[in-house]
Structure formats: C-alpha cells, structure tokens
Homo-oligomer: A and B are copies of this chain.
C-alpha cells in the first residue's frame, strides 16, 4: 500500500482537483466501503446520495455526473477508469516471481533470455527460444524451440508455447493455455484420415491476454494471429489460420473455426460457436451461445443459434414463448371456419 497526495493522484489520472492538494490518500475503495484517508469514485449519478454517508476523504467524479460532494474531489472524463488508475497507483502489484532463473528450471544453451527475467522451477525453455526483458515465466511452463516471448510478459504456471510461436510485449497467458497446438487438418483417403502437416505458427501481439486452458492452434501455413490489445477468456478454442483483430473480446468457452476473420473491437459472448472461413466485421457484437454460420457486418449485434440480428431473434423468441397458445388459436380458428363453411353449404 502506497501513499500519495491528492495533487499527485490528480496529476496521475489527469483530473481537475477541487480541494486540498496536500491531502494524504493511502488507499482506494468503493463508495460504500471506503474509509477515512481513502479515495473513492462516482461514475453514475444515481449513486450520488451515497456520497452523503461516504467516509472517503476524496472522490473521483465523472465530469458528467454533475455532483459536488462535501469531500475533496477530482473531476475526470471517466471516473471508473480514473479510479482504476488511482487504485493501481496506491496498490502497486508485486511481481509473482522474483527475477532470476530457478536452479530447477531448464534453459537450453542456445536460448536467449533478456534482463531482469524471472523463470520459475521446472520451466523448460527450448533451443533458440527467446525471452524478452522483465518477463515472468512461472513454474512448470514449457516454451518450445524457437518460440519468442516479448518483454514484460507474464506466463502463469503450466502454459505451453509450441515451437516457433511468437508472443508480443506485456501479454499475459494464464495457466494451462496452449499456444500453437496443431490445427485440426486431415485429408480423407481410402477410409482413413491422413494428417496434413501444420507448419505455420501462432502470433500473439502485444497487450493480449489469454485465459486459462484456452487453446490456439498454429496455422497450416502462415499464421494464426491475435492482434494487439485483444482479451480472450478461459477455455476458448481458436482454430488454425484464424485472425482476431485488435482490442476485441472473446468470452469463455467460445469456439472459432478455421480461417475465420474477426475484426477489431468485436465482442464475442460465452459459448458462441463460429464456422470456418467467415468474416466478422469491426465492432460487431455476438450474444452468448450464438451459432454463427455467415458473415456479420461491422457494428451489428447478433444473437441466437442460428445467429440473427438481435431484434429479430428477440421477436422470434417472443412468439416462440406463446407458440402453444398460437397453435390452440389456429385449431380454434379452423373449427370456426369449418363451421362457417358448413353453414354456407347448408344454406
């Protein structure tokens, strides 16, 4: 836990301070939990009344929340983000592993390891592999031959980086993730499946995060790529030759089939499935459990299995909900019409 003046915090988060620049802050907490000496935040005006009983010594306030608390406050354009920055300033995170190579780690002689790197027990780093400065590699993780890991990365325990794959800077990979497993490619012939060699690699660019037990297959030829800033949750499957754009999000247990292209800023919900060779436009959003078999244009929100524009799926679902009643109505109507027809012919 660190301690800063309000002036220092305001400068760090780029906000406008209203109050005592020399005020001392030693912690950050949510509005209903903050104590004296701590800083909190108000992003949503509907929680404005909480300020009255809030014990925090200062508040980070969203300029558009329009609140003027009794406490000292800092105005910023995005109070939640400002709070996150202040929180990280006040709670500097210790590295999970101290720099140095554990005596029980195996680093092949031809591997090149940067400065200030932390390599845990039972880690294996293969021939001609490279690890950038300040990167932490936790126990029992395996980096195979010729793989390249950038600087300031964090690889948790029991990660696999297969041969030749490349990871950018500041990328985080969680336990059990497999980067560069073979793509699932076989040529059927004579009643058997013959393995198509998977000679490409996986590239994870910088500032990417890969969840626990997620699998990303290497390309048949060329690259499977996850571009900078994209965050992938646990147990996700990314098949060979997939391209995931920048600053996209893929939630847990989604699966993307081979050669599909995901744009930038795309949001893919949990358990979504996608066929191969399609294209998802920039900023598209796909609801949880959707099944996507066709391209989705940029900016569209799709949902359902099969995935349709979300409003269409919701309209269909509303009718579905009353489907038994709809059938009854139809049966009744049929009787009425028969009755009318009978009367007609009886005339």
Complex-state Cα separation, A140 to B344, whole angstroms: 84
Known: A231-B186, A233-B184, A327-B326. A93 touches B174 (CB 8 A): no
Contact of B334 with A341 in the complex, beta carbons under 8 Å: no
Contact flags A154-176 to B (C-beta < 8 A → 1, else 0):
00111010110000000010111
| A207 contacts across to B, CB distance below 8 A | 192
Smallest CB–CB gap between A23 and chain B, Å?
24
Known: A87-B197, A237-B235, A273-B253. A192 touches B229 (CB 8 A): yes
Q: Which of A46-54, A59-67, A315-323 contacts B (4 or more CB under 8 A)?
A: A315-323
Number of copies: 3
Q: Which of A111-119, A211-219, A294-302 contacts B (4 or more CB under 8 A)?
A: A211-219
Contact of A273 with B273 in the complex, beta carbons under 8 Å: no
Q: Does A336 contact B (CB under 8 A)?
A: yes
Chain B residue at minimal CB-CB distance from A332 = B334
| A243 contacts across to B, CB distance below 8 A | none
| A96 contacts across to B, CB distance below 8 A | 144-145, 163
Contact of B320 with A323 in the complex, beta carbons under 8 Å: yes
Chosen A-B contacts, 8 in total, with CB atoms closer than 8 Å, are A81-B194, A88-B197, A142-B157, A142-B175, A144-B157, A191-B247, A193-B231, A193-B249
Given contacts A193-B231, A213-B215, A255-B270, 16 further A-B contacts (CB under 8 A): A120-B124, A138-B142, A158-B158, A172-B182, A175-B178, A176-B176, A178-B212, A213-B213, A233-B237, A237-B270, A275-B288, A288-B291, A316-B323, A318-B324, A319-B324, A326-B327
